[in-house]
Structure 1
Amino acid sequence: MILIVDDKSENLIALKKILETHNFSVDTALSGEEALRKILKYAYKLIILDVQMPGMDGFEVAEAIVGYSKTKDIPIIFLSAVKINKQFISKGYASGGRDYLVKPIDPDILVLKIRTFIKLYEQTDELNRIQAALLEEIEYRKEAESKKDEFISIASHELNTPLTSVKGYLQLAEKSFEKDNKPHTRMYLDRTKTQLNKLNQLVADLLNTSKIISGSLEYHFKEFDFEPFVDSAIDIIQQSYPGKHIIKTGLADVKIQGDPLRLEQVVLNYLTNAIKYSPDSNDIFVEVAVLPANKVTLRVRDKGIGIPKEKQDQLFDKFYRVEESSNRFQGLGMGLYICAEIIRRHGGTFGVESEPGHGATFYFTVPSHKEKLQ
C-alpha cells in the first residue's frame, strides 16, 4: 500500500485517483502528524510526501520515518511546487528521500518511479528476511555445535568411567586368581559384570538415539496384556536391585497395541531412574490405572532428591541433564529422550511431577484400545 501525505485534500484526491487507475492500493494523510500515526499502525511500501505543510513539514516527517527501525527502509518520494531550488532538493535527499519531484508532475513518470522504488523495497525486504533467517540459523548451528562439544565431553567421561573400573577389577581378579582366592576373584568378576552392564546401557542409549534421529528405530506392534507386562518389568528391576522394595498398586487388566520391548524400555528407565535418584530410600512406588476414553497409565514415584520446577520441561530433551545432579549421578542424558520418543510413537503422553527434596513421579499414558499402529 502507498501512503500519500498532503495538507490539501484536492491534491490527495487527484493523486489518489491516478494511482488507483494503475491498480495501486492507496491511503492518505492530511498532515505529518497523521502520517506518522498511520505509519506506525499500517504497513506501507512507499510514501509520497508533500514538502510544505503546516506543523511538521515533509523534511521533519521523513527524518522521523527514517529514525524508526521498523520504517527506515520505506522509500520516500518528495513532491513540491514551491521549494524547488537546489538547497531544498539536497535537504530532501539528506532527510531520507529517494527522489524529489517538482509539481506539476508527469503521471507516467511518477508511476514508473513508484513501480521501480516498490520493487527495490520488496527486494530489500526479502534480503533482510533472508539475512535474519541466516543469522538465526548460524546462531542455531553455533548452539548445536556447543551442545555437541559438551555431549562429546560428557560421553567420553561417562564411557571412560566403567571402562577404567573394568580394567581395575580385572587386574584385581587376576591377582586373586593367582593366589587361588576364589571368593575375591568372584567378587571382582561380579563388579566387572556390573560395570560392563553400565557400559552396555550407555552404548545402547547412544545407538537408540542415533536411530531415533535418523528415523530408523524399529518397532514391532502387537496386541498384549498390560498387567503382566508391567509385572514382568518390575520383576526384572527387582532381580537387579534386591535391596529395593518396589510397591505396585492399582490394576490395569486391559490389552494394548504396541511394541512390548520398546515400552519395556520406558518402564525400566523410569524404575532405574527412580532407584538412581533416591539413594537414601529403598521404596519405589508403581501405580497403574485404566483411564476414561480407553487409556491406560503408569506412574513411577520415588522419595528422592526431586527436580526444580524450572528444569522439568527440559528433562525429556536430548542430552539434557539437571546441573545440580550431573556431577553426582552418571548418565548421558538420553534415557528420558528415548522414552519420550517411544511414547510419542505409541500415540501417548508423558510427563513428570516433582518438588525438590520430595521425590519425583514420572508417568506415561497410552491408548488401551486402538487400531494397530504402522
Structure 2
Amino acid sequence: MILIVDDTPENLFSLKKILELHGFSVDTALSGEEALKKILKNSYFLIILDVQMPGMDGFEVAETISGYSKTKDIPIIFLSAVNTDKKFITKGYASGGLDYVTKPFDPDILLLKVKTFYRLYQQNQELTKIQSALLTEIESRKEAENKKDEFISIASHELKTPLTSIIGYVQLLQRSLKKYEDKAVDNYLGRTNLQLGKLENLIGDLLDISKIENGKIEFNKIEFDFNAMLQSAIDTVQQTQDCIIIQKKTVEAQVFGDEMRIEQVIINYLTNAIKYSPDCKEVHVETSINGNKEIQFKVRDFGIGIPKEMQSQLFEKFYRVEGSATRFQGLGIGLYICSEIIKRHDGTCGVVSSPGKGSEFWFRIPLNSSNMSSSEKI
C-alpha cells in the first residue's frame, strides 16, 4: 500500500485516483501528525510526501520516520511546488527521501517512479522469503546434526561394553584351545580377533567424535621423542597390515604434545595409504623440520588418488570421496578426527593428490610451545 501525505484534499484526491487506476492500493493523510499515526499502525511500501504542510513539514516527517526501526526503510518521494532550490532538494535527500519531484509534476513520470519502487519492494520481499527459508533450513540441519551426534554418542557407549566382553571371551577361548593345537581353530579365532579389532577402532573413532563435539576429549601434552613414537606407529601398522613402509627421511626431534594422539594421526594416515592403494602396498614416510619451529610429517602412497575438487572436503566429518565409498569401507570420520587433533596442537594438515597417481597426506605441528598446558580438553 502507498501512503500519500498532503494538506490539500484536491491534491490527495487526484493523485489517489491516478494510482488506483493502475492497480495500487492507496491510503491518505492530511497532515504530518496523521501520517505518523498511520505509519505506526499500517504497512506501506512507499510514501509520497508533500514538503509544505502546516505543523510538521515533510522534512520533519521524513526525519521522524527514519528514526523508527519499523519504518526507516520505507522509501519516500518528496513533492514540492515551492522548495525547488538545490538546497531544499539536498535537504530532502538528507532527511531520508529517495526521490524529489517538483510540482506541477508529470503524472506519467511519477507513475514510472512508483512502479520502480514497487518492483524493488517485490524483489526485497522475495529476498526476505528466500533468507527466511534458508534460515529455517539451517536450523533444521543443525537440529538433525545435533540428533545425529547424540545418537552416535549413545550408540558408541552402548556398543563398547558388550564388545569389551566379547574380546575378553575370545581371548579366554584362545587360551583354552591352545593345548589342542588346532590350526583351523587358531585361524578362525585370529580372523575373529582381527574383525573385533576393526570394530573396536571404529567405536573408538565414534567416541572420539562424540568427545570432540562435546568438548570432552582430553589432551595430555608432554615432551616426547617424535622419531621413537613414529617407529612405534610403523611397527603397529606393519604387524596388522600387509605393506612395505619405507622411511625416506627422518629427523631427531623433541616435540611437546599428546604423544598418543599424534601417534593416532600417523597410524590413520598409514592405514589409509595402504587401504586406498590396493595394487601397491608400498608407502613412503618422510619427516622434516621447518625453520626450527615445526615438524612436518608426510605419508606418500601410490594408490587411486583424489580429484582436486574433492580434496578440500576430505577432512570434514563423514565425508567420503565419490566413487570410493562403494569400493572401500569406512564412515569418513578418521581424517576429521586427525584434523581436530592437529588443530589442537596449533598445527595444520592437508593433502596433495592426483587421480591414479596416489596421494601425499601431511601435517605440521610446532616443536614446542611455552604457552601450552600439560593437560587440556577440547
Match of residue 314 from structure 1: 313
Question: How many equivalent residue pairs?
Answer: 283
Output one character per residue of 1:228-260: Cα deviation in whole Å (capped at 9) or x when no partner.
Answer: 11111111111112x311001212211111000
1:137 is displaced (CA, Å) by: 3.1
1:262 is displaced (CA, Å) by: 0.6
TM-score, normalisation: structure 2? 0.64
- Tell me if the contact between 1:222 and 1:372 (Cα under 8 Å) persists in the aligned partners: no
The residue type equivalent to 1:138 in the other structure is T
1:297 is displaced (CA, Å) by: 0.4
Match of residue 222 from structure 1: 222
The structure-2 alpha-carbon separation of the partners of 1:322 and 1:92, relative to structure 1 and needing over 3 Å to count, comes to: same
Following the alignment from structure 2 to structure 1, what is the Cα–Cα distance between the partners of residues 216 and 192?
32
List alignment gaps of at least 5 residues for structure 1.
1-65, 67-74
The structure-2 alpha-carbon separation of the partners of 1:369 and 1:192, relative to structure 1 and needing over 3 Å to count, comes to: same
Output one character per residue of 1:99-149: Cα deviation in whole Å (capped at 9) or x when no partner.
Answer: 455563235253563255332324889x98997765333212444567789
Match of residue 356 from structure 1: 355
TM-score, normalisation: structure 1? 0.65
- Tell me if the contact between 1:307 and 1:356 (Cα under 8 Å) persists in the aligned partners: yes
- Tell me if the contact between 2:50 and 2:58 (Cα under 8 Å) persists in the aligned partners: no
Match of residue 139 from structure 1: 137
The structure-2 alpha-carbon separation of the partners of 1:99 and 1:351, relative to structure 1 and needing over 3 Å to count, comes to: closer
Match of residue 276 from structure 1: 275
Match of residue 88 from structure 2: none
Match of residue 233 from structure 2: 233
Superposition pairs of residues 194-213 of structure 1, within 5 angstroms: 194-213=194-213
- Tell me if the contact between 1:297 and 1:366 (Cα under 8 Å) persists in the aligned partners: yes
> Does the alignment pair 1:121 with 2:80?
no
Following the alignment from structure 1 to structure 2, what is the Cα–Cα distance between the partners of residues 335 and 219?
17
Match of residue 345 from structure 1: 344
1:97 is displaced (CA, Å) by: 6.8
Paired residue secondary structure (1:362): strand
List alignment gaps of at least 5 residues for structure 2.
27-43, 76-123, 374-378
The residue type equivalent to 1:135 in the other structure is A
The structure-2 alpha-carbon separation of the partners of 1:327 and 1:101, relative to structure 1 and needing over 3 Å to count, comes to: closer
- Tell me if the contact between 1:76 and 1:98 (Cα under 8 Å) persists in the aligned partners: yes
Match of residue 15 from structure 2: 88
1:322 is displaced (CA, Å) by: 1.0
Following the alignment from structure 2 to structure 1, what is the Cα–Cα distance between the partners of residues 146 and 356?
31
Following the alignment from structure 1 to structure 2, what is the Cα–Cα distance between the partners of residues 272 and 336?
11
Paired residue secondary structure (2:365): strand
Following the alignment from structure 1 to structure 2, what is the Cα–Cα distance between the partners of residues 355 and 314?
15
- Tell me if the contact between 1:221 and 1:372 (Cα under 8 Å) persists in the aligned partners: no
The structure-2 alpha-carbon separation of the partners of 1:112 and 1:294, relative to structure 1 and needing over 3 Å to count, comes to: same
Following the alignment from structure 2 to structure 1, what is the Cα–Cα distance between the partners of residues 145 and 200?
23
- Tell me if the contact between 2:308 and 2:353 (Cα under 8 Å) persists in the aligned partners: yes
The residue type equivalent to 1:105 in the other structure is M
1:226 is displaced (CA, Å) by: 1.3
The residue type equivalent to 1:89 in the other structure is K
The residue type equivalent to 2:15 in the other structure is F
The residue type equivalent to 2:138 in the other structure is Y
Match of residue 245 from structure 2: 246
The residue type equivalent to 2:11 in the other structure is I
Q: Compare 247-256 and 298-307 and name the one that shifted more.
A: 247-256
Match of residue 54 from structure 2: 106
